[in-house]
Chains A and B, each alone.
Chain A
Amino acid sequence: MREIIYDVFARKDRGDTLAHIGYIDALDDATAKVYAWKTYDEQNWFEMCVVPRSAIILVNRDDGPFARGGAT
């Protein structure tokens, strides 16, 4: 079953910097939202969002953690 890598970003309080907190593998956007919320539940997040890794455009280097693209 083909899965997609989603990167997870969150901020604890309004005004905090949105931080990259991890990633999950999911079937689609709907399951990505559930997996992210259930997996990274160590905080009572003010805001969380997920981004398909394939949508991230590399700017200054091509060997960073986001360089591997979207598919597992």
Chain B
Amino acid sequence: MSDFVDVSDLSDDTRAALRRHIISLADTKRFMGIRYSDWLLGAPTLETCIAASSMAQDEWGHARLLYAMLKDLGEDPTAVEHDRADDEFANVSALDEPLPDWAAVIAAMVLVDGAITAALESFAEGRFESATSRGPKMILEEEFHRSLGDAWYRRLADSTSEEARDLLAAATRSMLSVTLAWLGAADSEARALVEAGIIGDPKAAVDSYRERVGPLVALAGIELDEVQPAQEWDSRRGRAPGQPDADSCERVRGDRNRALFVE
């Protein structure tokens, strides 16, 4: 007998929680891709530009795989991908605005992209079959993002430029609280997923995340144990209140593609 959950046996509340989780992961990956794409011609070197371009494609590919999981819930993902209002996007709020400098890109690569991967690891080890079959390849591809982010984070934290160090610390501080709140969500929706065995205990994911990024952010002068998760929470979307900037939402939805009759 399979150990996977039969989605049709889940309660309405658990199905809704699973839907929220899938969309939040997918939206965060899609916005992570947007933020990488903003730098594919502006990163410090040609090689970094190429890496940013490739990572943007990775994130969008992963997002598409995640949105497709909605089919398991009997939902066509097309409307979710292309027809939502700006205030329905469920990405980690640290990605709501364009990243203003390279230090912020690196902070997001380590902290936000790292948190998505931690959440994906928990999802891939659970009892939702699509996550267990598709998650490992995404996690493997994320290894390159992690290597690049960690190396650049160390380089900037150790920079002789005071401005670089200050920008890195500021970006890190601005992203950590909301990212910790997102990864460690323990509201009724998250608890329903834990009880169904679809994800692991969010506290374990946060502990693992803290263990991984703690030594890095310490290089920027930030003591991770002293950073608390943000308190404001929108349980409808599973993220902090607020919404992404309008231009990025248009790009994520593909509004301009439709105007050109591409899709």
Contact = CB atoms under 8 A, between A and B. Distances in A.
B150 A34 contact: no
A38 B46 CA distance: 11
B50 A35 contact: yes
Interface string B39-53: 000001111101100
A34 B45 CA distance: 13
Contact of A38 (B44, B144, B150, B155): B144
Nearest to B51: A38
Contacts, number: 44
B50 A39 contact: yes
A13 interface: no
A24 interface: yes
A28 B152 CA distance: 10
B54 interface: yes
Contacts of B47: 24-26, 31, 35, 38-39
A27 interface: yes
How many B residues touch the partner, as a band? 10 to 19
Given A3-B45, A25-B45, A37-B144, A30 B50 contact: no
A30 B144 CA distance: 9
Nearest to B164: A1
Q: In the complex, which of the residues A33, A35, A38, A41 has the most CB atoms of chain B within 10 Å of its own CB atom?
A: A38
A34 B48 CA distance: 9
Interface in A1-42: 1, 3, 24-28, 30-31, 33-35, 37-39, 41
Interface in B47-64: 47-48, 50-51, 54-55
Q: In the complex, which of the residues A31, A34, A37 has the most CB atoms of chain B within 10 Å of its own CB atom?
A: A34
Nearest to A35: B47
B71 to A, nearest CB: 28
Q: In the complex, which of the residues A25, A26, A30 has the most CB atoms of chain B within 10 Å of its own CB atom?
A: A30
5 contacts: A1-B44, A26-B47, A27-B151, A39-B47, A39-B51
Interface of B: 44-48, 50-51, 54-55, 144, 147-148, 150-152, 155
